[in-house]
């Protein structure tokens, strides 16, 4: 347990850019973090989550991903350390997405940041929160300014009264997307749980059946998908382990107790590293469509030592049902796919197997080994796959392709509809449907058909509204181009000069 003067060994540096804080810019914040003793942490983040050629994708605050993971876990408290505006935005977004618990906050000032008092305030908040009757875990998340200032969360005690303490840095200048921030916390928790399991007996996961051979799914999936994947694994003699990210701490032990981990969402770099450290093989891609399901079952059978005859029997039983669902729900449309969930390549595969033409797939996630099977399959069919896609790249592809339907982020959907192109928000409309097995094969056909039928309606809307709401027609009540009042610039200049003279005279008089 650390002492009250633990910060003496590593005093925090002042806020970056002479007090400009989180507005200082990524490079300035990054250099400040390194100078304040966070060089190793920043190097690890850069290695795990490499940026693209254009720096990083446009996204919501990355820390939302880590906050979301903590808030969805039972008996887990989350404390944020960062600028008040950031904490307000993050807590608002978390509750908008259905969080039903409070978010802790440790405020700071320039004085508490420079003197190291902020760390002491965080430490006190952790001790106050570490009630074993309420919590198994307390998570502390450093946002941009505390990270850049070197606030040393690694000096917090690892456990208080039996409550685990996990401190992580999730700065916007170090983690490119909120999807990867999920991995920062999920990986940190899995590491803690792995070390606990290696040290001795741990709590028994719920509904554990000792003789079962399990596969752990990595990624936030549609709730019905783990059930569907379980049905695909059953003929191989396998079941689904507790999913990661998990819903409670003991699920982490159950997730580690597997014969293989499946990186269905391929950006969980820290999480997959912990499975490998535990001696568990990791398989990429997912059981999507006929080709994807066959390849995934073969990969799982290979690492789980499933006999060849059992694999062949499973494929003979499962693949015709998926093929039948695809044939019963054909998709005849030209579609562009983009998003930040990490499942964009899988969705594109499913659309193509259903008959769609998909010229472009953009994902905010980076390229990893776990997405290579999907990338190779798509590129073999002429699809352009863009990792770390920017909004500008997604929009340019949509404008070039002029698809029957665009799947993407909110600003892309807005741009598409302004051009008369039907579009759907990937996160709310596509990720909210099953993707795997026979259920996944038929899930997208309905929404694609419904949206593409609206093409003529969008064209009429664009023609009717014309330029209303854009350019000089963006205001209300104007019938012509607004004119600047005569002499306005001169009057404003003279007023500024007068204020400057008054301030100078006051200073001289003082």
Q: Render each residue's pLDDT in the chain as its tens digit; 510 residues.
A: 333 333 334 444 444 434 455 566 777 888 888 888 888 888 888 888 887 766 666 677 889 999 999 999 999 999 999 999 889 888 888 877 767 788 999 999 888 888 889 999 999 999 999 999 999 999 999 999 999 999 999 999 999 999 999 999 999 888 999 899 999 999 999 999 999 999 998 888 887 777 889 999 999 998 899 999 999 999 999 999 999 999 999 999 999 999 999 999 999 999 999 999 999 999 999 999 999 999 999 999 999 999 999 999 999 999 999 999 999 989 999 999 999 988 999 999 999 999 999 999 999 999 999 999 999 999 999 999 999 998 999 999 999 999 999 999 999 998 998 888 999 998 888 888 899 988 888 888 888 887 777 666 666 666 665 665 666 555 555 566 667 788 888 899 999 999 989 888 887 875
Strand 357-363 with 384-387, pairing:
parallel
Identify any residues that bridge with 334 across adjacent strands, giving them in sequence order: 357
User: Which domains occur in the chain, in start order?
Assistant: 6-176 (3.40.50.1980), 214-325 (3.40.50.1980), 329-462 (3.40.50.1980)
Tell me the whole-structure pTM to 2 decimals.
0.83
Tell me the two tokens of residue 299: 């990969």
Tell me the two tokens of residue 109: 């000032």
Q: Are 338 and 394 in contact (CB under 8 A)?
A: yes
Strand spans (E) along 264-396: 282-284, 334-339, 357-363, 384-387
Tell me the two tokens of residue 488: 């306005």
Closest alpha carbon to 396 in 362, 420, 424: 362
DSSP-assigned letters across all residues of 12-38: PPPPHHHHTGGGS-HHHHHHHHIIIII
Q: Are 443 and 432 in contact (CB under 8 A)?
A: no
């Amino acid at each position: 347990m650390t002492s009250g003067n633990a910060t003496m060994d590593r005093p925090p540096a002042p806020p970056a850019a002479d007090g400009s804080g989180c507005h200082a810019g990524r490079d300035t914040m990054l250099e400040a973090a390194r100078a304040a003793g966070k060089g190793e942490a920043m190097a690890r983040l850069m290695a795990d989550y490499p940026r693209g050629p254009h720096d990083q994708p446009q996204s919501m605050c990355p820390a939302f991903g880590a906050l979301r993971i903590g808030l969805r876990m039972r008996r887990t408290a989350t404390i944020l350390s960062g600028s008040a505006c950031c904490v307000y935005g993050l807590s608002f977004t978390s509750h908008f997405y259905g969080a039903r618990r409070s978010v802790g906050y440790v405020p700071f000032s320039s004085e508490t940041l420079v003197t190291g008092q902020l760390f002491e305030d965080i430490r006190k908040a952790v001790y106050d929160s570490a009630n074993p009757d309420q919590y198994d875990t307390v998570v502390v998340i450093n946002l941009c300014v505390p990270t850049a200032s070197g606030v040393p969360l690694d000096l917090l005690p690892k456990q208080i009264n039996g409550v685990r303490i996990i401190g992580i840095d999730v700065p916007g200048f170090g983690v490119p997307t909120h999807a990867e921030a999920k991995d920062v916390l999920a990986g940190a928790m899995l590491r803690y749980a792995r070390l606990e399991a290696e040290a001795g007996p741990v709590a028994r996961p719920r509904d554990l059946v000792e003789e079962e051979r399990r596969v752990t799914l990595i990624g936030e999936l549609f709730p019905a998908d783990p059930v569907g994947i379980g049905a695909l694994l059953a003929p191989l003699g396998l079941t689904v382990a507790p999913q990661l990210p998990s819903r409670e701490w003991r699920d982490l032990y159950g997730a580690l107790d597997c014969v293989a981990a499946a990186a269905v969402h391929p950006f969980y770099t820290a999480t997959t590293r912990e499975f490998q450290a535990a001696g568990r093989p990791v398989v990429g891609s997912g059981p999507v469509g006929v080709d994807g399901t066959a390849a995934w079952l073969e990969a799982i059978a290979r690492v789980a030592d499933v006999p060849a005859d059992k694999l062949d029997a499973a494929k003979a039983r499962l693949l015709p049902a998926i093929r039948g669902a695809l044939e019963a729900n054909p998709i005849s449309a030209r579609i562009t796919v983009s998003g930040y969930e990490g499942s964009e390549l899988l969705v594109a595969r499913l659309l193509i197997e259903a008959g769609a033409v998909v010229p472009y797939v953009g994902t905010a996630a980076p390229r990893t080994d776990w997405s290579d099977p999907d990338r190779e399959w798509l590129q073999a069919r002429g699809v352009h796959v863009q990792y770390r896609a920017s909004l500008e790249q997604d929009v340019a592809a949509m404008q070039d392709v002029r698809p029957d339907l665009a799947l993407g982020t909110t600003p892309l959907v807005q741009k598409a509809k302004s051009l008369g192109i039907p579009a759907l928000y990937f996160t709310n409309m596509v990720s909210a449907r099953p993707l795997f097995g026979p259920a996944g094969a038929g899930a997208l056909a309905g929404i694609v058909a419904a949206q593409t039928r609206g093409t003529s309606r969008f064209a009429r809307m664009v023609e009717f509204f014309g330029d209303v709401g854009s350019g000089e027609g963006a205001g209300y009540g104007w019938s012509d181009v607004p004119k600047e009042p005569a002499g306005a610039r001169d009057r404003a200049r003279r007023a500024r000069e007068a204020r400057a003279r008054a301030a100078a005279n006051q200073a001289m008089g003082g």
